[in-house]
Amino acid sequence: MNVLLTGATGYVGGRLLKALEQRNYKVRCMARRPEYLRGRVGPTTEVIAGDALRYDSLSQSLKNTDVAYYLVHSLGSAGNFEDEDRTAAANFGRACAACGVRRIVYLGGLGEEERTLSSHLRSRHEVGRVLREAGIPVIEFRASIVIGSGSLSFELVRALTERLPIMIAPRWVSVPAQPIAIEDLIAYLLAAAELTPVESRTFEIGGADVVSYGGIIKEYARQRGLDRLIIPVPLLTPRLSSLWLGLVTPIYSRVGRKLIDSLRYPTIVRNQSALEVFAIRPRGIREAISRALNNEEHEFAVTRWSDALSSIGNAGHWGGQRFGSRIVDSRTAEVPRDRKAAFAPIRRIGGDAGWYYGNLLWRIRGFLDLLAGGAGLRRGRRNPESLVPGDTLDFWRVEAFERDRLLKLHAEMKLPGRAWLEFELTDIPTGTQIRQTAVFDPLGVAGLLYWYALYPIHQLVFAGMLREICRKAS
C-alpha cells in the first residue's frame, strides 16, 4: 500500500510515521520544509516538498497514492487559521480526486455540532466536510484530549502539577472530556487504512474514562505522589488564561488562547460506532498517564507537540523556551559542506581541542565543579578523533553517537538538575544544517534560579560555540 502522510513533523504525525514504517508500508511524507524531516525518517521513506495552501505543489506528492493521511492544521498560524484550514482542505481534497487517491484519513476534534463550538472545534469539523466534498471516501476520526509523552495536553498537565501546589484555575478545568492515549489513537489511524468497505465514515473516539482536566491533574499528582489543591474561579477569561498558561506551562499564548477556547466545551464520545467497527479497546486515564510517565523517563519523548514547526513560530532559535519541566536552547546554522566535513569539529570537541568558544569560561566552570566535588575538566577525552557511547568528555558523558549525524552529551557536573547538549546534522540542498540544542531539567526553584542567573552567559557561549563550529567546518 502506498501511503502519503502529511503533518509528519507534528506530534501525532511523528508517532504515526514510525508505526507506518514498522508495518512496511511504502510511505511518502509531504512537508513544507522537507529538510527538517529527512533526518527523522527510515531509509525507505520518501520526503517531498509540498504545501496544502498551494494547490500546484500537491500533485507530485499524491502521485500513485492509495491512502492519504491528512493531519494538517493551522492552529499555530498568526493569521486567520479558519480560512487557512478551509483553503488547505479544499486544495488537498481536489488534488486527491485528480490523482486517484482511494481514501483520505483525517483526524479532527470532538464536540457536539448542535451546540455553539469554539472556532478551533468548528474549524476541525468544517475541514472534514470540505474533504468529503471532493468526492473521495474520507475516514474522519474525532478525538478529545490526547495523552502521551510529549503531547501538548500531557505537557500542560505535567507543568501545572509539578510547579503549582495550589492552582487558581479557570472553570474549564471542570468541563468533561474523554481523553485518549496516543497509542490507541495511532491504532485507530492505522486500522483506517485497511477498513472495508471503502466509504466515508465519521468515528468519535475516546478513552475508557470521562474525566475533566482537573481530574487528569489529580490523577497525575496521585501517580507522582504530589498533594495538589485546585481552586476554580470564574474570572479568568480565555485571554487571561492563555497568558497565565504561557507563564507556567510550555504553551505559547497564541496557541493557548485558541486551545483554551475549545476546553470550555465538553468533548465526549456520544456515538459508539468506533467500538463496533474496530477491534480496539482504548485504555483508561490511569494507564494512559502511567505509560506517558514511563516514556518521559527516556528524557525527551519520541515526538513532542513542540516539534511541529507551526508551534515553534521561529524554527531557528528558541532561547530558554520551556517544554514541560525542561528548558531548551536550540539554534541552527547552515554550512556549505557535506555532513562529514560539518561533523568533523563536533566529533573532536572537548579535551585538548576545547569547546571552540569561551574556553576560559569553560575552565572556570570546571574549576567550580571541582570545588563542589565534581569531575571538572580533568577527565578530558579518551581519543581526540573518535567517540563511542559511554565515553567521558570533560564533565560530560557521551549518551548517543552516530558518525556524521549525531552527538548527544549528558552532563556529569554538579548541577541543581539534569542537562544535555546535542548536535544533530541534516542534509539540505546547500550543504548541511547543524542544530545545537542545550536541554536543562531544573530541580525545583534552585534549578530555575541557576539557569536564569547564567542565561546571559549561556546565550554568549552557545551562540559562539555554534558559530565557531561552522567556521571550522567551512
Instruction: Give φ, ψ of 27 to 5 degrees.
Output: -105, 135
What was the pLDDT predicted at 119? 77
Same domain, 46 and 77: yes
The CATH number of whichever domain residue 459 belongs to comes to: 3.30.530.20
Same domain, 189 and 152: yes
Same domain, 274 and 334: no
Helix 152-163 and helix 285-296, axial crossing angle in degrees, nearest 10? 80
Same domain, 31 and 69: yes
What was the pLDDT predicted at 366? 86
What was the pLDDT predicted at 322? 55
Strands 26-31 and 46-49: parallel
Same domain, 75 and 92: yes
Same domain, 272 and 331: no
Instruction: Give φ, ψ of 283 to 5 degrees.
Output: -80, 165
Same domain, 285 and 352: no
What was the pLDDT predicted at 399? 86
Same domain, 8 and 124: yes
The Cα–Cα gap between 38 and 390 comes to: 27
Same domain, 369 and 420: yes
Final residue of a structural domain among 312, 347, 363: 312
What was the pLDDT predicted at 336? 95
- 265 in helix, strand or coil? coil
Instruction: Give φ, ψ of 402 to 5 degrees.
Output: -130, 115
Final residue of a structural domain among 287, 312, 337: 312
Final residue of a structural domain among 288, 312, 336: 312
Same domain, 284 and 340: no
What was the pLDDT predicted at 149? 83
Q: What DSSP assignment string belongs to 399-439? A: EEEETTTEEEEEE-S--SEEEEEEEEEEEETTEEEEEEEEE
What was the pLDDT predicted at 101? 95
Domain count within the chain: 2
The CATH number of whichever domain residue 258 belongs to comes to: 3.40.50.720
Same domain, 384 and 267: no
Counting as low any pLDDT under 70, the low residues of the chain are 36, 74-79, 114-115, 235-261, 296-325
| Structural domain containing residue 158 | 2-312
Same domain, 189 and 281: yes
